[in-house]
Amino acid sequence: MISWRYLADDGVTASFGLAADEALAARQPAGASPPTVRLYTYRSHCALVGRFQRVASEVRLDACRARGIAVNRRPTGGGAILMGGDQLGVAIAVPGNGGDRSWDRVRDLFLRFAAGLVDALARLGIAAEYRRKNDLEVGGRKIAGLGLCFDRAGGLLFHASLLVDLDVPLMLSVLRTPFAKISDKEIATVAERVTTVRRERGRALALDEVRDLVREGYARTLGVRLEPGAFTDDEHAEIARLERERYATAAWVEREPAIADAAGSASVKTAGGLVSAHLTLAGDVIKAVYLTGDFFCDERVLPGIERALRWHAADPGRVAATLEGLAAEGLGLPGVTPQEVAHVVDLATAAARRDEHAAAAKGCFVNP
């Protein structure tokens, strides 16, 4: 059986954690570092944005400064996350093996490298599944986010953040959302869209217990022996260089993407109740949307609709077609037609386009 290296570390700074992951991936093609599975935690807390995101659009910088929360940028794509002692970071660094970087291959890699998490959760009696783009979900609720990037030299880095637990009010106080204000209602709305290992198990599992299961899960699903190891002196030197030249610099953390985000909200009264849409727009793409109101529906409906509209073209006709298809599959709001939901989404989109950031939103939005 092939052996890979296993690293476990805790309480790392944002700059060290990210620099270490990039260094491990960059050293893969030349064989300077062995294939590595790293399971670690960040010092509580830090806010990490995706490689192609705009920091000011994703993070409440004043709130982070006031709370002493570090802000940094991952080398992988995806959305902003809050990391700390109750979130298990996963980094897998391996050779990229070839130049195919199509979405089909990326999806296959997500499935392959998420399998260790799925296996570990299954052994806790938690049925998780990979859903479109880059999430692991349990019953329609997100429990882990996934990310991936290819180093220029050919190394591959897989990232995941597993929610062992999560302070939702803290997250909403430092990460930006489409909501104009954050109240108990908004906190409850977001809390119903995510879940955690402890919530699913109904008890306070130690993070180390979860980490051991994840390590075993990766050994099984990758078919390798994971040998405990440590960073080498050469790796520490490369990590220090990357921290100094990239992850500890404003040029990296505050870099501006080609497109700024804009947020908008709208409400419509229907026979089934008031329906409100709160969304974030990136160019002509709906980046994220939350639906709220005083309607009644099955608990799986809203996450299903919101998931389908994430990273969806903002074209009204295409939104309506998607919602009609979902309604035909049983994912509709009782007493609210798909056309009415499409209308409120269109109104929120129009409001976002009037946002002060929308003038810069031109061209094509890219987020692998």
Q: For residue 357, what pLDDT is reported?
A: 46
Q: What local confidence, expressed as pLDDT, does residue 365 receive?
A: 25
Q: What does the pLDDT look like over 48-100, one tens digit per residue?
A: 998 878 898 889 999 999 999 999 999 988 889 999 999 999 999 999 876 55
Which candidate, 245, 266, 273, 228, places its Cα nearest to that of 6?
A: 228
**Separation of alpha carbons 269 and 344, rounded Å:** 9
Q: How far is CA 296 from CA 142, 173, 187, 216, in A?
A: 22, 28, 19, 42
Give pLDDT, residue 176. 87
The pLDDT of residue 203 is above 70: yes
pLDDT band per the 50, 70, 90 thresholds, residue 282: confident
- Separation between Cα atoms, residue 277 and residue 267, nearest integer Å: 6
CATH of domain 261-360: 3.30.390.50
Where in the chain are the domains? Answer: 3-253, 261-360
Q: What is the largest CA-CA distance in the chain?
A: 67
- Give every CB contact of residue 229 below 8 A, 6+ residues apart in sequence: 5, 6, 7, 34, 36
What digits encode the pLDDT tens for the residues 91-143? 999 998 765 555 567 889 999 999 999 999 999 999 999 986 789 999 989 99
Angstrom distance (rounded) from CA 121 to CA 143: 10
Query: Structurally, what CATH architecture does the domain formed by 3-253 represent?
Result: 2-Layer Sandwich (3.30)
Contact 2, 225 (CB under 8 A): yes
Are the C-beta atoms of 181 and 265 separated by less than 8 Å?
no
Asked if pLDDT for residue 274 goes beyond 80, the answer is yes
Contact 132, 110 (CB under 8 A): no
Q: What is the mean pLDDT of residues 278-297?
A: 87
pLDDT of residue 221: 98
